[in-house]
Chain A
Amino acid sequence: MSYVAVERADTLGAAGVSGTAPLQGPETRRRRPSGWHLLLVPVALLMIFPFVWLIITSASTLAETRVFPPTLPAGFPVTWIQNLVHNYREAWTQAPFGRWVLNTTIVTFTVVIGNLAFCSLAGYALARLRFFGRTALFLVILATLMVPFQVVMIPVLLICKYLGMVDTLAALVVPNLVTPFGIFLLRQFFKTLPVEIEEAARIDGATRLGTLVKVLLPSMAAPLATVGIMTMLWSWNDFLWPLIAITSQDNMTLQLGLSSFVGSHVTNWPVLMAGTVMTQIPMLLIFLVAQRWFVQSFASSGVKG
């Protein structure tokens, strides 16, 4: 009994001191190093090593990668940095990475904004407004959520061709402006909100749209972040659809461009690695800055989706 009581007091104290980590366990702080490190250290190293080796290779000379067993790049840090700069410059000039970054940014930005706006509207209407055909519409949206992309990709390609969007960024944007996932997630969230706040806003003179924009959305950071982050990641990293919808190099996204870069540089590993690093840096940076939001988004999309 007394053991339990002591441990609990310790737990509360610890929770009081550091409340920053987003997901915190109930375990107590130990006096001696925990045995859990024996599991976590190798796992963390295994997870990180590919990134480390990626960066090391991108700082190597071509010759250094052509020997077996591999060696660490020589001449730290001066030659190292020179190689690094050289490889990144090579990658940047050999393929239109700048163009691809721009394309991907445009596509991702538009898709995220589109989803935030249109999924909010649709999710709100499906949760709150009584209109003819609402249930049927919701069921249809749920059904499309379940159908794998492979089933529809050929007709979608044909429709895009018909609309003259094939091999343009529009093909990457328009079909993804609204996602059933976003509608579903936001609808579920709207359902949990007390209806009185909306009624108060309507009596106070707000239209439905005004109520949504001025009263509901400002207090919905978490679900909006989830939709935003999920569509951002999905749009940024998507591969199969750009692969079939885009043919010309100038309209490629980063992922598609990178994969086409592999074909022509499969033997020049340092430059290929430099290119790979460049494509991953934007998302990794965003992730490092907003890790808490990413984790929370994955968790809530998992719980509800």
Chain B
Amino acid sequence: MSTSDAAATAPRTLRAGRWDRLLGSESTTGWLFVSPAVLVIGLFGVAPIVWSIVLSFQSNDLVTPATWVGMANYKALLKDPMFAASVRRTIVYTLLFVPIVTVAALAVAVALNRRLRGMRFYRTAVFAPVVTSTVATAIMFNWLLDPDFGIVNALLVKLGLPAQGFFQSPSQALYCIVVMTVWGWLGFAVIIYLAALQGVPLELMEAAAIDGATRWRAFRRVQLPLLGPATLFLVIWLSINALQLFDEIYVTTRGGPLSATTVVVYYLYQQAFQLFEAGYATAIAYVLFLGILLLTVVQLLIGRKFVYYRS
């Protein structure tokens, strides 16, 4: 069929659709579809990131005109003993919180991943704290651990042990925060592990059983390695949240007693909204961001070495 034939048989075609081509084009539709997202994320996500870089180079109390101070905020940070102490506390907290949640969640998840009487109750009990707000959690634990009238001290006394100061003791407050946040996060971690355990094919455990492995060895050699990706995700996710700890501290101790629970974000909050050092606070935020980024990259690198992915 030649071209001239084709043209000849369609003598009066209606030329349609210049507008359709423009309005209906994927480019126009695409931008229309993303425009709400671009607007909101641009205004409240991207612009603030840039702005806060500028802020961190300023001395700015958000009221009087700002002055450019260059790297002064960052230099001051390096020499600020209060900041160093807050970093130390954050690291201690993270090093306790992340492993405890991960290991405890693994044990509970393995226990929950079977058919037992009362499983619904167990699961609901473990998951319920996940939807409880950090503020409510903090209020509950404040009362449980009240040195004078709290139930925990009452139990300790009954067991013949001395009553403790808990949140009011500078040497104990941070550990109480650990206990409280472990309670709040355990359910989330259990859910992640349970989902991962569901993904381990039954045949694999059976194959291990046929090969003569004991239950423990089958778990250790077959199931555990397959939980690697979930563990890596959990450790990274828990670490990111641990480094950003704030709510529970604000409600229970307000950084006290004697600054014993002033972690990085609480220190940042004080600088920004109590001392009105917005520039300095933003510099802290950027250092925190850097720390989170660094830790995540390191964890990913270590993970790549040890975690086995089934593709």
Q: Is the CB of A70 within 8 A of B149?
A: yes
Q: How far is the CA of A240 from the CA of B281 in the complex (A)?
A: 15
- B250 interface neighbour in A132, A146, A243, A305, Cβ under 8 Å: A243
Q: How far is the CA of A148 from the CA of B239 in the complex (A)?
A: 13
Asked if A131 meets B121 with Cβ closer than 8 Å, knowing A47-B186, A53-B143, A156-B44, the reply is no
Residues of B contacting A254 with CB < 8 Å? 133
Q: Is the CB of A150 within 8 A of B111?
A: no
Q: In chain B between 12 and 52, which residues have their CB closer than 8 angstroms to a CB of chain A?
A: 26-31, 33-34, 36-38, 40-41, 43-49, 51-52
Closest chain A CB from B38 CB (angstroms): 7
Indicate whether A106 reaches chain B with its CB closer than 8 angstroms.
no
Indicate whether A262 reaches chain B with its CB closer than 8 angstroms.
yes
How would you classify the secondary structure of chain B's contact residues: helix, strand, loop or mixed? helix
Q: Is the CB of A302 within 8 A of B37?
A: no
Indicate whether B112 reaches chain A with its CB closer than 8 angstroms.
yes
Indicate whether B150 reaches chain A with its CB closer than 8 angstroms.
yes
Q: Is the CB of B251 within 8 A of A259?
A: yes
Indicate whether A67 reaches chain B with its CB closer than 8 angstroms.
yes
Indicate whether A11 reaches chain B with its CB closer than 8 angstroms.
yes
Closest chain A CB from B44 CB (angstroms): 4
Residues of A contacting B46 with CB < 8 Å? 140, 144
Indicate whether A188 reaches chain B with its CB closer than 8 angstroms.
no
- Interface size range on B against A: 35 or more
Q: Is the CB of A40 within 8 A of B112?
A: yes
Q: Is the CB of A47 within 8 A of B121?
A: no
Q: Is the CB of A154 within 8 A of B135?
A: no
Q: Which residue of B lies closest to A68 (CB)?
A: B149
Q: In chain B between 77 and 132, which residues have their CB closer than 8 angstroms to a CB of chain A?
A: 107-108, 111-132
Q: Is the CB of B114 within 8 A of A144?
A: no
Residues of A contacting B233 with CB < 8 Å? 302-303
Indicate whether A195 reaches chain B with its CB closer than 8 angstroms.
no
Q: Is the CB of B282 within 8 A of A259?
A: no
Indicate whether A50 reaches chain B with its CB closer than 8 angstroms.
yes
Asked if A69 meets B158 with Cβ closer than 8 Å, knowing A27-B113, A148-B292, A154-B55, the reply is yes
Q: In chain A between 42 and 82, which residues have their CB closer than 8 angstroms to a CB of chain B?
A: 43-48, 50-51, 53-54, 57, 65-70
Closest chain A CB from B239 CB (angstroms): 12
How would you classify the secondary structure of chain A's contact residues: helix, strand, loop or mixed? helix
Residues of A contacting B122 with CB < 8 Å? 40, 43-44
Q: How far is the CA of A225 from the CA of B236 in the complex (A)?
A: 24
Q: How far is the CA of A57 from the CA of B2 in the complex (A)?
A: 91
Indicate whether B237 reaches chain A with its CB closer than 8 angstroms.
yes
Which stretch in B169-177, B265-273, B299-307 binds the other chain?
A: B265-273
Q: How far is the CA of A7 from the CA of B218 in the complex (A)?
A: 16
Residues of A contacting B288 with CB < 8 Å? 148, 150-151
Q: Is the CB of A177 within 8 A of B250?
A: no
Q: How far is the CA of A287 from the CA of B128 in the complex (A)?
A: 8
Q: Which residue of B lies closest to A11 (CB)?
A: B202
Indicate whether A221 reaches chain B with its CB closer than 8 angstroms.
no
Which stretch in B3-11, B67-75, B205-213 binds the other chain?
A: B205-213
Asked if A54 meets B140 with Cβ closer than 8 Å, knowing A23-B194, A29-B115, A48-B125, the reply is yes
Q: Which residue of A lies closest to B117 (CB)?
A: A33
Q: Is the CB of B124 within 8 A of A155?
A: no
Q: Is the CB of B128 within 8 A of A284?
A: yes
Q: Is the CB of A147 within 8 A of B289?
A: yes
Q: Which of B34, B44, B284 is the most central at the interface, judged by chain A CB atoms within 10 Å of its CB?
A: B34
Q: Which residue of B lies closest to A134 (CB)?
A: B30
Q: How far is the CA of A141 from the CA of B284 in the complex (A)?
A: 23
Q: Is the CB of A34 within 8 A of B116?
A: yes
Q: Is the CB of B37 within 8 A of A262?
A: no
Q: In chain B between 253 and 309, which residues have their CB closer than 8 angstroms to a CB of chain A?
A: 265, 268-269, 272-273, 278, 281-282, 284-286, 288-289, 292-293
Known A122-B33, A154-B52, A258-B139; 4 more pairs at CB < 8 Å: A36-B111, A152-B44, A269-B146, A298-B191
Which residues from chain B sit less than 8 Å from chain A, CB to CB? 26-31, 33-34, 36-38, 40-41, 43-49, 51-52, 55, 62, 107-108, 111-137, 139-144, 146, 148-151, 153-154, 157-158, 183, 186-188, 191-192, 194-195, 197-198, 202, 205-206, 209-210, 230, 233-234, 237, 240, 244, 246-247, 250-251, 265, 268-269, 272-273, 278, 281-282, 284-286, 288-289, 292-293
21 A–B contact pairs at CB < 8 A?
A: A4-B209, A27-B115, A37-B116, A43-B108, A43-B122, A44-B122, A48-B128, A50-B141, A53-B140, A70-B151, A125-B30, A140-B46, A148-B240, A148-B289, A151-B288, A152-B45, A175-B40, A286-B131, A287-B128, A298-B130, A303-B230
